[in-house]
Amino acid sequence: MPVTDNPSAQDHIVLSVEHVKKKIGRKWIIEDVTFDVREGEIFGFLGPNGAGKTTTIRMLVDLIKPSSGTIKVCGFDVNKQQEQALSYVGSIVENPEMYTYLTGWENLEHFARMQPGIDRERIQEVVNIVRLDQRIHDKVSTYSLGMRQRLGIAQALLGRPKLLILDEPTNGLDPKGIKELRQFIRELAEDGLAVFVSSHLLSEIQLLCDRVAIISLGRVLAVGEVEELVAANAKYVIWDLEPVEAGKRELTSRQEIEVIEQVDRVLDDTIIAGMGPNAIVTRMEEEDIAGMVLHLVNSGISVQGVHKINPTLEQLFLKMTEGESIE
Amino acid sequence: MNSSKWIWRIVSIVSILATLLLLIGFVYAIKDIQYPQAGQTPSAAQPQENHEAKGPEAKKEIKIAAIGDSLAKGTGDNTGMGFARRTVNELAKDTGKKVILLNNLGINGLTTTGLLPKLEERGTQYVLGQADIILLSIGGNDLFQGAESAVKGIAGTSSTATGLELDPKDLLKGLPKASTQLKAILERIRAINPNAWIVYIGLYNPFGDIKDLQIPGNQAVSSWNQAALETINKNSNMMLVPTFDLFQHNLDKYLSSDHFHPNGDGYQQIAERIVQAIR
Amino acid sequence: MNSVLPLIKNETIKIIKKKRFYVILLILLVLVPIFTYAQMRSAEQTRAKFHGDWRLEVQQQITDNENSLGSDRVPEEWKKYRKVLVQQLQYYLDHDINPNEPNGVTFTREFMANSITLFIPLLIMAIASDIVSGERTTGTIKMLLTRPVKRWKVLLSKLVALYMFTSLTVVAAFVITYVISGAFFGYQGFNLPVFTGFQITGSNVDLSAVHAVPQWKYLLMQGGLVWFVSLTVASLAFMVSVLIRSTAASIVVMMAALIAGSILTNMASAWNSAKYLFMVNLDLTDYLSGTPAPIEGMTLGFSLTVLSVWAVAALIISFLVFTRRDILN
């Protein structure tokens, strides 16, 4: 039932989530989630495990009903008009669990029967897209994880969706597979598909996505272009000074410089491990560094090292969530 | 991949058929249990094949079958043996051979009318066909119908002289028809088993000591026996064992408490006579 | 909108491909020969006991019963029963069938009567317990429910497929039992007369309506009743499968209920309200064969009503829960 008149096709918004909340038991798992996904973009959904990513995704595909708020796909309410809304959605929720006792082809036939207008040719088409044609008539139980992932994507693409939802798609894939998948998702987006990708791997989102929503503890903390969000944030500079106490006093006295006491709350373990025992972490603008070095030297403090930490989404995230641990 | 198409076709068609079949069965079951209709029996087919009758070869074994009325059954004998079982015992003693009672097909209250269709039953034919000696007792109920109905109960329970209710005139009324039927019975048994000895147990008058019934009873019994002899004499291997004289003056001694059937001693006397007759 | 038919097709293919139905057939193929062999051994023993000719035996039975027909002291209704019995025995002789020696059809009939409370329901559960919980255990339920299909349609397709296989299982049980036992005992016996029409009121059996039906018809009626019981068990197992995530747990729940039923049947005659439990009402073929019901007040109509109510309630619960529930994992 391809729907011809789309109630609200404005702005090419494929998925709109408005003030969605979900209470399970007595606990509010999702407190307030709002974002839009547009045609042709890859939208990242970033958050630590337990932040409510999976719950949100399940609400997007009507596995869970929100306690309040609305989710619309192409203008159709997912919870009230699920047949129309879900016909625009292809998804893999968590792992691509297929029927292992069927062959790949039989799995695709199975899901094809659940949606009108999918013929043999279309099945063959998606099989070719995900490059599974060699093994498609083998039982899924013999597939590797990467092949299952591809079969899952084939399944999601069957109904010619406008929105593709992938939950942690790189889970369990080897680096080569991850690279292939990334390439593949980009190609899909170039064809006008909106792709919604959730991940707890910040680098993944940064490499792949155009826009991102950051979720923590059931709330969306920020939504925006990945580049903008990164740029809008202050940078960290690590100082190695001698004597330490005097240097620290000097840094603290400057208004434009913020000295960070609890380093482990804002920085990665890998970075902390590379720092000397007396390193001082500050947040400051890049252009202030040279003047500060001069000032310190003039004050008789020897500057043994200055490290600029390139801003990553990771730190951005850490900052936003005030040090909530990711893994 | 075509397999799923075939799975679906076969499973759907077969399961729909199965469902229909079971549904019909379910409806039948409900109907049958909720609104049962008695007497609905499958048409009992007639025996199609004749069981080859085995003649009384000179074997070590002698097979005996008894058929007929309560006398054949042995009603009144406290030991339950009747003349059939007693004949078997006597004959075994006498000949030293193994004597087997195949079956005692005696049925209380059976008349000649009742016996004729029985002879057409496959089971009866089977039993008779195997026998070397067939003991037949029939006719008492044809003659003493009224009396019989009054003493139908099991021996020893109705001990009063019930024969009094019998109208003497009725005794002879059914005689002609019954003796014709007796003839038919004998001939039928002959046909079923051409080789066996057929021993017919003659009638006695159980009412010999009741004044009103003594004479008509005697008359009826002797004309019956006479009629029986007419048929029996025409056939070889067929004989009548008289009992009239046995009981004539020994009713007290040989009749059981129902005053109709012999008691154990009476049956023993009959059995001994049978053995004598076939020796 | 979407037709339910393709979904039923999906479920059917899954049940076949998952080899659930093969398991059932396999169980039958393994167990029936065992039961048949046991029956054959006991038949051999009886045959040894009646070293003589069975025809003489049967004829004597007929004569004995005819004798009791003549007696005034035998109640009229018992006479009717005996008349039918004589007719039945007569039939054996007429058709040269030894009633003491089982044939394929008789064995099937007796086997089914014994299987209705536990064995057949167990087979049904092999499919029913897995049909929803199996998808949850493997996680495929997420794939199933994120399609543009309403949930009640998905559940309905599973229910219809389950009912289809319930019918198939019942018929397969009959056919396999007949084919296997026939190989031991011979395939004849379809026209053998069997008694039915016993009306049980309390502890008394009213024999006035007793009559004989040919065994094939009896088998058909038995099949119908077994089928109804199976549908009820299937519906209940279906509900348990919706409610419980683990297939093993849902089988255990259903087995517990069924075994409780067979224990209660043996000891609950004093506890009158136990008759409203579904598991006490499973032995529908008892009404056909004239075995008194375990608890007073139970009739075929009563049992059918109790079973229907349980089944319908189970289905209502299944659909309410399934369409509303959040799929959390």
Q: What is the ipTM of this complex?
A: 0.82
Are residues B21 and B149 located together in one domain of the fold? Answer: no
Tell me the pLDDT of chain B (279 aa) as tens digits: 467 888 889 999 999 999 999 999 999 988 888 777 654 444 433 333 333 333 444 556 788 888 988 888 888 888 888 888 888 888 888 888 888 888 888 888 888 888 888 888 888 888 888 888 899 988 888 877 655 444 444 333 444 444 445 566 666 667 778 888 888 888 888 888 888 888 998 888 888 777 777 787 888 888 888 888 888 888 878 888 888 888 887 888 888 887 788 888 888 888 888 888 877
> Which residues, listed in sequence order, are joined to residue A236 by a DSSP beta bridge?
A283, A309
Encode B1-26 in three state secondary structure: CHHHHHHHHHHHHHHHHHHHHHHHHH
Nearest Cα to Cα of residue A233 among A323, A320, A326, A324:
A320
**C276 pLDDT above the threshold of 80:** yes
At B160 the pLDDT is 43
**A9 pLDDT above the threshold of 50:** no
Are residues B139 and B215 located together in one domain of the fold? Answer: yes
Confirm or reject CATH 3.40.50 for domain A235-309, answering yes or no: no
Tell me the pLDDT tens digit for each residue of A56-65: 999 999 999 9
A307: left (phi over 0), alpha (psi -120 to 50) or beta: beta
At A279 the pLDDT is 82
Residue A102 contacts C where some CB pair is shorter than 8 Å: yes
Burial class (CB in 10 A: 0-12, 13-18, 19+), A67: middle
C258 or C81: which leads in pLDDT = C258
Q: Is B241 a domain residue?
A: yes
User: Cβ–Cβ of C328/A24 closer than 8 Å?
Assistant: yes
Residue B4 contacts A where some CB pair is shorter than 8 Å: yes
Compute the nearest-CA separation of B1 from chain A (Å).
7
Q: Is B106 a domain residue?
A: yes
Domain ranges, residue B236: 56-278
Are residues B17 and B127 located together in one domain of the fold? Answer: no
Are residues B147 and B25 located together in one domain of the fold? Answer: no
User: Cβ–Cβ of B4/A106 closer than 8 Å?
Assistant: yes
- Contacts of the segment B91-100: beta carbons below 8 A, 24+ positions apart: B91/B62, B91/B64, B91/B275, B91/B278, B94/B275, B94/B279, B95/B62, B97/B60, B97/B61, B97/B62, B98/B60, B98/B61, B98/B62, B99/B61, B99/B62, B99/B63, B99/B64, B100/B61, B100/B62, B100/B63, B100/B64
Q: State the Cα–Cα distance between residues B134 and B141, nearest whole angstrom.
A: 20
From chain B, pick out residues whose CB is under 8 angstroms from the CB of C72. 152-153
**Helices (DSSP H) in chain C: which residue ranges?**
5-17, 20-49, 54-70, 76-94, 104-115, 119-128, 133-138, 140-145, 151-185, 215-243, 247-267, 285-289, 300-324
**Helices (DSSP H) in A143-284: which residue ranges?**
145-157, 175-190, 202-208, 226-231, 244-253, 269-274
**C271 pLDDT above the threshold of 70:** yes
- Confidence bin at A319 (pLDDT 50/70/90): low
Tell me the pLDDT tens digit for each residue of C286-307: 888 777 777 777 888 899 999 9
- Decide: B24 and B30 in contact? Cβ < 8 Å: no
Residue A144 contacts C where some CB pair is shorter than 8 Å: no
Q: What sign has the CA pseudo-torsion A262, A266, A268, A274? A: negative
User: Cβ–Cβ of C148/A86 closer than 8 Å?
Assistant: yes
Residue A143 sits at φ, ψ, to 5 deg, of -80, 150
Out of C17, C140, C327, the one facing A97 most closely (by C-beta) is: C140
Q: What sign has the CA pseudo-torsion C112, C113, C115, C118? A: positive
Q: How many other CB atoms sit within 10 Å of the CB of residue C297?
A: 10
Q: Which two tokens stand for residue B78?
A: 């406290």
Which range has the worst mean pLDDT, A96-105, A126-135, C18-27, C264-273? C264-273
Compute the nearest-CA separation of B8 from chain A (Å).
12
Out of C19, C138, C148, the one facing A97 most closely (by C-beta) is: C138
Q: Is B51 a domain residue?
A: no
From chain A, pick out residues whose CB is under 8 angstroms from the CB of B4. 106, 109
Are residues B142 and B256 located together in one domain of the fold? Answer: yes
- End-to-end C-alpha distance for chain B, whole angstroms: 86
The CATH number that applies at residue B128 is 3.40.50.1110
> Which residues, listed in sequence order, are joined to residue B104 by a DSSP beta bridge?
B66
Residue of B2, B3, B4 for testing the chain A interface, max A β-carbons within 10 Å: B4
**C308 pLDDT above the threshold of 90:** yes
Q: State the Cα–Cα distance between residues C290 and C283, nearest whole angstrom.
A: 11
Are residues B11 and B127 located together in one domain of the fold? Answer: no
Out of B25, B34, B47, the one facing C300 most closely (by C-beta) is: B34
Name the helix (H) or strand (E) containing A258: strand A258-260
Are residues B16 and B109 located together in one domain of the fold? Answer: no
Are residues B7 and B110 located together in one domain of the fold? Answer: no
**A95 pLDDT above the threshold of 70:** yes
Strands A42-46 and A211-216: parallel
- Decide: B237 and B218 in contact? Cβ < 8 Å: no
**Helices (DSSP H) in chain A: which residue ranges?**
53-60, 82-86, 104-112, 120-129, 145-157, 175-190, 202-208, 226-231, 244-253, 269-274, 289-298, 313-320
- Decide: C199 and C299 in contact? Cβ < 8 Å: no
Nearest CA in chain B to C301: B34
Domain with CATH 3.40.50.300 in chain A: 10-230
3-state class (DSSP) for residue C104? helix
Q: Using CA atoms in the order B28, B33, B38, B40, what is the torsion angle rounded to 10 degrees?
A: 20
Q: Which two tokens stand for residue A320?
A: 């936003």
At A50 the pLDDT is 79
Q: Which two tokens stand for residue B153?
A: 């109960």
At position C100, the amino acid (one-letter code) is N
Helix axes B264-278, B82-95, angle to 10 degrees: 50
The CA-atom distances, in angstroms, between C97 and each of A142, B119, B218 are 56, 19, 47
Which residues 146-175 of B are in CB contact (within 8 Å) with A?
none
Cβ-based contacts under 8 A for chains B and C: 179
Are residues B239 and B272 located together in one domain of the fold? Answer: yes
At C155 the pLDDT is 95
Residue B74 sits at φ, ψ, to 5 deg, of 100, 25
> What pTM did the predictor assign?
0.73
Number of domains in chain B: 2
Are residues B239 and B163 located together in one domain of the fold? Answer: yes
Domain with CATH 3.30.70 in chain A: 235-309
User: Cβ–Cβ of C18/A89 closer than 8 Å?
Assistant: no
Q: Is B233 a domain residue?
A: yes
Q: State the Cα–Cα distance between residues B239 and B242, nearest whole angstrom.
A: 10
Strands C211-214 and C193-196: antiparallel
Are residues B34 and B160 located together in one domain of the fold? Answer: no
Encode A119-171 in three state secondary structure: CHHHHHHHHHHCCCCCCCCCEHHHCCHHHHHHHHHHHHHCCCCCEEEEECCCC
**CATH code of domain A10-230:** 3.40.50.300
Residue A300 sits at φ, ψ, to 5 deg, of 80, 20
**A128 pLDDT above the threshold of 50:** yes
Q: What is the mean pLDDT of chain C?
A: 85
Are residues B21 and B118 located together in one domain of the fold? Answer: no
> Which residues, listed in sequence order, are joined to residue A195 by a DSSP beta bridge?
A42, A164
